[in-house]
Amino acid sequence: MVVSMQFHGVQRSLTGTHEIQMTFLKHSRVRDLLEHVKACYPDLPINEDDFLVTVNDNVSTIDHILKPNDKIAFLPHIGGG
Amino acid sequence: MKIIESLSYNPGKIKGGYTDQILKVDLGSSDISLIKLAPGFKEKYVGGRGYALKLIWDGTSGDTRYDSPENILVMASGPLGNEPRFPGSGKFIVGTISPLTDTFVDSNIGGHFAPLLKICGFDALAISGISNRDVVLIVDADRGVIQIAEAPAADKQTDQGALSYGDVLLKEFSKGVLDENIAAVTNGIGAANTRFGIINSLFYDRRRKRLRCKQAGRGGTGTVMRHKGLRAVIVRSSLSRSGINNPVDSKAVKQAGANLKKVISQADPQQLRLSSWGTPILVEYMNKYHILPVQNYQYGQHPDAKAVFADVFLKRYFTKKTPDGCYKGCNLACAKGAENVTLKHGPHAGRKVGIDGPEYETAGAVTCMGIFDPHFIMEYNWYCDEYGLDTISMGVTASFLMECVQRGYLSREDIGYELVWGNMESVDRLVHETALAKGFGKICAQGVHRVKAWVAEQYVAKTGKALDEVVSELDKFAMETKGLEFSMYITKESLAQQGGYGFALKGPQHDEAWLIFIDQVNKELPTFEAKAKALKWFPLIRTWFNAVGLCKLPWIDVRHPEAAKTENPAQNQPTLAYFVQYLNATVGCNKSLQDVLDDSERLYLLQKLINLRHGKGTRLSDKIPLRAMGPAFFNEYQDRSDYYDEWLADQVGGKEVPKTAEARHLLVTKLREDAYKKLCDAVYKHKGYTPDAIPLPEILEKFDLLDEQAVDLLREFGLLEKKRRLSN
């Protein structure tokens, strides 16, 4: 199945793209996607403690089982000025 | 400079973060006095906002307005201000009775001014009276003198600028040699001509070799300063900043600061990267989550928004690899700036200037006017700073006028030119006209609340429609509450943030409660009870930051790695522990986080009392525009119909939703209004207020706030009898 990883802010700047698509086996989890992204972009700062996982713009977890066409993002915590 | 009044003094020492002395200046009588604070004052009112609140509570009345001679302009840091070993310690508060809200407003501001004021021997500066000529106040610890001087004359263009005038003034004062031992606050011509004038905090940046500025932006504090005839305050001390706070436990201060610096240096590069991108990084996330206030908060996203994302400013404008903290020792260093930017518009066109900013609020204010041009944002930023205008209130007022044109309440004939979304030339013209009190700018200068009344009158005169009906329609999209323009977030999809703005005592500014992400994105506040708890906790902790002289960003925008393991990760309590440790080590107490919150609650309630005294403290004053609650007009509903339809289906719980989009829109807005009313009920109850938002006597008694004035006030609201029964 194909899922999308979305990049914003610093991640977008470092990867040079807003979104990449990746193919995973059924029952793969967000955790698998994260490992894959880290392998593709070793300089990308994505530490699961520092980010909020969203799947299709809803808060999720690293253990979420991916579904076809899911859009995943790792968002920084924003507390406002 | 011609000296009007002079007082020699010996700068007192700081002990445990306090000087225990304030400087009072009456500009009407040119009286300068040094006031020793009573024992117990600092324990009860902490510093910063707390000092401003107490001085204004005691020294003004419900009849005091921004231009009353007795109105007091207070500038105060706090016990934790001025500690280079701890990040974010250059903050101070400017508090006064606002020309926009007619009640207490305060605005926090960074730079070297407050640390130097403290080293000069003062925890706060309190200015009352009105001078019959423009003056400058000088607090010079090096010479041991406090002086009121005639403001030196400059050429017309320099005289109009808060930055230009400050530069000339400080160079004259320091005989041409600027350094970090001198700082000033100034205002510009915009502060003289509008209700949303700012105070600029100027300090010398030895890396950039020029004066930089930060702003007390909200509520018209600069307007008050200018009305008093005070062009600038200069402070000077050559004493070293390091260790001068004389903390009780210096080692523990150092440790607390080191702990926080470590978290910032390790976590910020992994998270928002404020240290290199500055706050404009937020614009991209605001656009993603439909909270960018495009076209007067009608739409939360725009396809052109990427033109004003942070990376654009980083690549094109910001100076890179320059530590940009607004005060010594801050390794978050988010105060970004640019050098040699050539202005294209306005009276300074062609001039190369250094620009401090933009902050994300300024970028948001420009998108509010439908403009997505980074260079225009830079220029708007500079001109507002130079004139001394609040970029938020200027942008929101202009946006309201643009929407009045869009909806037919105003025409080209009323304004004199096309004021339409995205038109940079007309916005540029309006900014200059507003600052200089020319043409239609005189109307804009009044802010949304008063402009709304003016538009209604004009429209009624033209159409013969009923005034009430016209005002009711304008109320839907006039983005102000209590008289203050909303800051730059759309709240339609976050009920908690609707409360964050509606209940904010100074008016809708996010520094009291910023709950959008934990509510709208994280979904951490699913119930009214959870929202009510957050709407008490966050304002209290944020009040504390404004009382002690610290910046909130190192706490709220850099998440501690251990926070995820706590019960409320958004509270970031592992980092707050460093702040409490710093407090205890500085002043020599043993407070817990709850003690800190209790201290803040006293200040919060005192501000509530001032609001009640000035007619801005009841439920009616917490009312927010329909647009803050949901889609005020059908076009807004259509723009997010998928979201609203899903929300509606959830709300009706299986019942059939209306068939037509128009009917669904009406139902959405009705349910949103109902939800806000329920939120008010829940929050007032949780805070210990009556259903009309008045604090119960026992709450005020608990915090020792029931003085004679408070008792009289409660009597007006019919609560005294209740207190008597309780006492009996």
Distance from CA of A72 to the nearest CA of B (A): 13
Structure confidence by residue, pLDDT tens digits, B396-448: 999 999 999 999 999 999 999 999 999 999 999 999 999 999 999 999 999 99
The answer to whether residue B719 is domain-embedded is: no
Cβ contact B717:B612 at 8 Å:
yes
DSSP string, B275-295: HHH-TTHHHHHHHHTT-S-HH
Task: Tell me, yes or no, whether B94 lies in a domain.
Answer: yes
Amino acid A20: pLDDT? 96
pLDDT at A80: 79
pLDDT value for B320: 83
Q: Chain B residues with CB inside 8 Å of A50's CB?
A: 267, 270-271, 559, 561
Hey, what are B202's tokens? Answer: 């100027």
**What confidence tens digit (pLDDT) does each residue in B374-409 have?**
999 999 999 999 999 999 999 999 999 999 999 999
Domain boundary at B485, B504, B537, which? B485
Query: What range does the domain containing B98 cover?
Result: 3-236
Same domain, B224 and B373: no
Whether the predicted pLDDT of B302 surpasses 50: yes
Mean pLDDT of chain B: 96
Given a cut of 80, whether residue B721 has pLDDT beyond it is no
B422 and B504 within one domain: no
Query: Which residue from A minimizes the CA distance to B500?
Result: A80
Residues B333 and B213 in one domain: no
Maximum Cα–Cα distance across chain B: 78
Question: Where residue B300 sits, what CATH number does that domain have?
Answer: 1.10.569.10
* Same-domain status, B471 and B545: no
CATH number of the CATH domain containing B516? 1.10.599.10
Q: Provide the shortest C-alpha distance from residue A58 to chain B (in Å).
A: 7
The CATH number of the domain holding residue B152 is 3.60.9.10
Distance CA B694, CA B684 (A): 8
Tokens of B666: 């009406």
Whether residues B477 and B604 share a domain: the answer is no
Q: Which tokens hold the place of B317?
A: 């404008």
Q: In this predicted structure, which of A36-50, B64-78, B157-171 has the lowest mean pLDDT?
A: A36-50
Cα(B111)–Cα(B212) distance, rounded to whole angstroms? 9
Residue B33, both tokens: 């006095």
Say how many CA atoms lie within 13 Å of B190 toward its Cβ: 36
Same domain (yes/no): B470, B539: no
pLDDT-derived band at B566 (thresholds 50, 70, 90) equals very high
B448 and B527 in a single domain? The answer is no
Report the 10 Å Cβ neighbour count for B535: 27
More confident of the two residues B112 and B653: B112
Query: Low-confidence residues of chain A, pLDDT below 50?
Result: none
Q: Does B567 fall in a domain? A: no
Sheet with B199-205: strands ordered across:
B3-8, B145-150, B135-140, B230-236, B182-186, B199-205, B210-216
CA dist B623 → B482, B490, B500, B676 (Å)? 8, 16, 12, 9
Secondary structure element (H or E) that encloses residue B125, with its range: strand B124-128
Question: Looking at residue B723, what is its pLDDT?
Answer: 46
Contact at 8 Å (CB) between B102 and B572? no
pTM to 2 decimal places: 0.97
pLDDT digits (tens, 9 = 90+) for B220-271: 999 999 999 999 999 999 999 989 999 999 999 999 999 999 999 999 998 9
Last residue of a domain, one of B236, B265, B287: B236
Is B580 part of any domain? no
What separation in angstroms does the CA of B648 have from each of B18, B301, B626?
54, 21, 17
Q: Encode B433-456: b = buried (16+ Cβ within 10 Å), e = exposed.
A: bbbbeebbbebbbbbbbbbbeebb
Helices (H) and strands (E) in chain A — how many of each?
Answer: 2, 5
pLDDT class for B531, splitting at 50, 70, 90? very high
Question: Residue B654: is its pLDDT beyond 90?
Answer: no
* Shared-domain flag, residues B538 and B664: yes
Structure tokens at B452: 């709304």
Pair (B455, B501) in one structural domain: no
What is the distance between the alpha carbons of residues B84 and B100, in angstroms, rounded to a whole number? 35
Going by C-alpha positions, the residue among B47, B67, B42, B49 that lies closest to residue B606 is B49
Q: What's the confidence (pLDDT) of residue A45?
A: 85
Q: What percent of chain B clears pLDDT 90, i.e. is strictly above it?
A: 96
Tokens 């020699």, located at residue? B8
Judge whether B722 lies within some domain: no
Residues in chain B within 8 Å Cβ distance of A76: 271-272, 559
Q: Are residue B406 and residue B516 in the same domain, yes or no?
A: no
Do residue B467 and residue B331 come from a single domain? yes
Distance from CA of B426 to the nearest CA of A (A): 30
| Chain B environment of A10 (Cβ under 8 Å) | 272-273, 277, 281
Cα–Cα distance, B608 to B585 (Å, whole number): 31
- What integer is the mean pLDDT of B521-529? 93
Q: Other CB atoms closer than 10 Å to residue B638's CB: what's the count?
A: 12
Whether A81 and B570 lie within 8 Å, measured CB to CB = no
Report the Cα B602 to chain-centroid distance in Å. Answer: 20
From first CA to last CA, the distance across chain B in angstroms is 63
- Tell me, what DSSP letter sits at residue B39? T
Give B197's DSSP letter. B
In this predicted structure, what is the pLDDT of residue B324? 86
Helix (H), strand (E), coil (C) string for B504-564: CCCCCCCCCCCCHHHHHHCCCCCCHHHHHHHHHHHHHHHHHHHHHCCCCHHHHCCCCHHHH
Residue A49's pLDDT is what? 77
Indicate if the pLDDT at residue B546 is higher than 50.
yes
Does B267 fall in a domain?
Answer: no
Asked whether residue B199 is domain-assigned, the answer is yes
B708 domain-assigned: no
Total number of domains constituting chain B: 3
Domains within chain A, CATH numbers bracketed: 2-76 (3.10.20.30)
pLDDT at B323: 80
**Mean pLDDT, to the nearest integer, of B123-142?**
98
CB B275 within 8 A of CB B269: yes
Average the pLDDT over B144-173 and give the result.
Answer: 97
User: Would you say B72 and B539 are in contact if contact means Cβ atoms under 8 Å apart?
Assistant: no
Q: For strand B484-485 and strand B199-205, is the pairing parallel, antiparallel, or unpaired?
A: unpaired
> Does the distance separating the beta carbons of B572 and A13 come in below 8 Å?
no
Are B141 and B100 part of one and the same domain?
yes
- Calculate mean pLDDT across residues B363-380: 98
| Cβ–Cβ gap B521/A47 under 8 Å | no
DSSP string of B233-259, one letter each residue = EEEE--S--TTTT--S-HHHHHHHHHH
In 3D space, the residue among B65, B69, B224, B96 whose CA is nearest the CA of residue B615 turns out to be B65
pLDDT for B728: 38
Rg (CA), chain B: 24
Which of A8, A59, A77 has the CB atom closest to B271's CB atom? A77
Subunit contact A8:B511, Cβ cutoff 8 A:
no
From B279, which residue of chain A is nearest by alpha-carbon distance? A81
